[in-house]
Structure formats: structure tokens, C-alpha cells
Amino acid sequence: MDCYDCVPADEMPPIDLKMLEEEIPNIDWRQGHSGQLLSKEDADLLDDLWEELMTNRLVIDEQGEIEQDDSDRNQDDDENGQAHGDHIAALMEPEDFLANHLPKLIDNGEVLKSCKTQVVSEKVDGETTDVFAVVHRDGDVTWLALIAAGVKEDVNELVSFYPLLDSVDRVKAKITDVSEWQDMIEATVTCEVDCDDEDFGSLEISFFATDYAWNKSKYIVGEYLYLDLAALAYSAKEAIRHFSFKGQQAIDYLAKSGREPEYDENGNVKPVDFSTEILVAFMNTDDDFPDDFEFHSPIRNVEKINSVGVDLYRCEVLFMHDPDRPLALYFKREFIPKPEDGMPISGWLWLQGRISENQED
């Protein structure tokens, strides 16, 4: 089964006995077991029940009744990754940002870009109208708000807002897909970044395009563009630096590569040691959120920054080797209190990007 969620041991588990007895009656769930093998059919039922519980956010009340929890999500948008609530939550509670920081962003902001384009939103239903990208730098981070000037209802609608992160280096990439959001002024763009070694081909990544509203015509599938990429971490921690295979595990590993184990003076198999200090991994594991990645990388150029009252670090990680491709990463200081250059870290991040002003080779 896939792992979707974890619950503290002293809290009620997401699937209780009543649910199990109703959905999978072939098993005696109340009789203690040291382990019971489920049939494939029952295992599939359990897997489906768990996936439905986690994916659809079913809630079990104290009586064991199941209900849908739609209290804090827009299913049409969130299930397709078309919202920024999680991106704000990576820094602070969205309600706190809305109440204490968003008004200042709008009041003190300046227009970065404006364009006339079609918009679909609650108040602007498919109109071709003026869209403004308003920016305000709070501390060390710039924040952007997209505002659509509706004509039919004579209203300025705030469509979205999020941190606009600084990049550290541009990267050349081939655009392979443009997935426009329902509002028609935001998009997730997929591209390929070539490796220097032809044997490794290219790395496919997706990012949220912060400039899509006014650069729609430039995001053309098949075209090469220089991009400015940056990332915000949902979570981050110091990663392990080493691990070892010991005993039979070491013997089995060596056998796969046709090697014999070595023994110490006491006749024990010497462990096989591995280092992950310079490991670089960058993987998307959820098609619904293509611009979210699990990552592992050493860090460098760490600096303390602050924005909207939140203490942050900004550093560089690598999203690929050969050649090394640096990526600016922002994360809360509480994740890793004392990061240092060379430390391997891992976690989850949101990748954003925009077309670089410099398109010269």
C-alpha cells in the first residue's frame, strides 16, 4: 500500500473497526492476530479504502460515521494543484497572511507588468480585460498579486498571490508542455533540461510560471528558452550523510556486482559503506502537483533572511549534476536551525520560474 498520511499513536486511527467490518467483512478484525494474510481481493479493498480516505479527505466522527470534509478546499482547483494555499502555508498560516500582510501588499505595491488578456474567475467570467501584476518587497522576499479589472461588474478582482522568488542562475530548457490553469492567466510549464553527458539524456521538470499572464505567447512547445528558477520548501531537514550494508545484506549486495565480501580479523563480514553527502535527487511523485518535488542535495551560500515576520534561510541546492545546476531555495529557519555549506538536506519543495530577461546564448 502507498503511504499517504501518518497519525500520532494516541489519536484515533483514520480507519476504525466499524469501517473495516463493514467494508471488508471476511476478516475478523476484533480477534487479536500476530499477522494474517489477506486475500488479494481483500487487500485491494483495503488499499482502495485507504486511498479514498486520504485522497478525498473523508472524516470519521466519534460515532464512526464517514463524511466528506470540504471545509477548507476548493476541490476543482486544489485537486489539480491550481491554488496557492499550500505555498503560503509553507511560510505561515494563510489566514494570518490574508489578515495581516495581504492588505499591505496591495496598498504599498507597484505594478510590475500589465496586459490585456482573457480571464476566468468568480467575478470576471471569460472577459478579455486588463490584468495587473502588483509587487511589494517585504524584507528580503518580493510578493506578487494578480488583479483582474472586471468590466461587466466594474470590480478589481484579486485572482491570486504568492511569493516571487529570486533565482541564482538561468537555465536553458526546451518547453514540452504548457498546462493553462482554469483562470487562464496562470500555468504550469513542463520543460527538458539537457545534461552535458548525452548518455544521461535530459531531465524533465515542471514549474509554476509566474509570468504566464503577460508571456503566454512566448511559452511555445518545442521552443528553447532561458529560465530563472527558484523554489520554496514545504519541509526540509538535514539528510543522512552515510549508511552501510552489514552481514548478509553486504554479502548479497556484493554478489550482485560479482564481488566477494571481505572479512575482519574476527571473521566478520566487513560492512559496505555508502556516502550520500553529494547525492543530488529531484523527483516528482504526484501527477496532480507536477511542480512539487522531493529533493536531496548538499547546500551552499546559506544566508539568513526575513519576510512577513518569518525567519528564513536562502541557499543554493542542485537539481541536477553534469553539469551542476544550482537552484535558489527558501525555507523556514525552524526546519534546520543551523544549516552550513556542504550539509546535505532533503525535503519537499515548490518550483516556480519565469522567462529570463537575458535570452542570449
pLDDT in tens, 124-146: 888 899 999 999 999 999 999 99
Distance of CA 298 to the CA centre of its chain: 18
Provide the whole-model pTM: 0.75
Q: Which residue has the higher pLDDT, 154 or 345?
A: 345
C-alpha cell at 19: 469501517
Q: Read off the pLDDT band of 31 (50, 70, 90).
A: low
> Which secondary-structure segment (H or E) carries 213?
helix 212-215
Q: Which residue has the higher pLDDT, 7 or 110?
A: 110
The residues spanned by each domain of the chain are 17-26+35-68, 84-164, 170-239+277-355, 242-275
Q: Which residue has the higher pLDDT, 100 or 52?
A: 100
> Residue 69: its pLDDT value, please?
41
> Residue 42: its pLDDT value, please?
79
Q: Read off the pLDDT band of 212 (50, 70, 90).
A: very high
pLDDT tens for residues 90-125? 999 999 999 999 998 999 999 999 999 999 988 788
Range scoring the smallest mean pLDDT among 24-38, 83-97, 166-180, 325-339 = 24-38
Q: Which residue has the higher pLDDT, 154 or 291?
A: 291
Range scoring the smallest mean pLDDT among 57-71, 176-190, 272-286 = 57-71
* Residue indicated by cell numbers 530577461: 357
C-alpha cell at 72: 477548507
Spatial separation of the C-alpha atoms in residues 85 and 106, rounded to whole Å: 18
Which burial class, exposed, middle or buried, applies to 118 when counting CB atoms under 10 A from its CB (0-12, 13-18, 19+)?
A: middle
pLDDT tens for residues 161-171? 999 999 999 99
Indicate the average pLDDT of the chain: 85
> Which secondary-structure segment (H or E) carries 251?
helix 247-256
C-alpha cell at 50: 485507504
Give me the sign of the Cα torsion angle 302, 343, 90, 356.
positive
Distance of CA 175 to the CA centre of its chain: 20
> Residue 313: its pLDDT value, please?
98
Distance of CA 35 to the CA centre of its chain: 36
Backbone angles phi, psi at 63, to 5 degrees: -90, 5
Q: Is the pLDDT of residue 59 over 90?
A: no
pLDDT tens for residues 319-355? 998 788 999 999 999 999 999 999 999 999 999 999 9
Q: To the nearest whole percent, how much of the chain has pLDDT over 70? A: 82
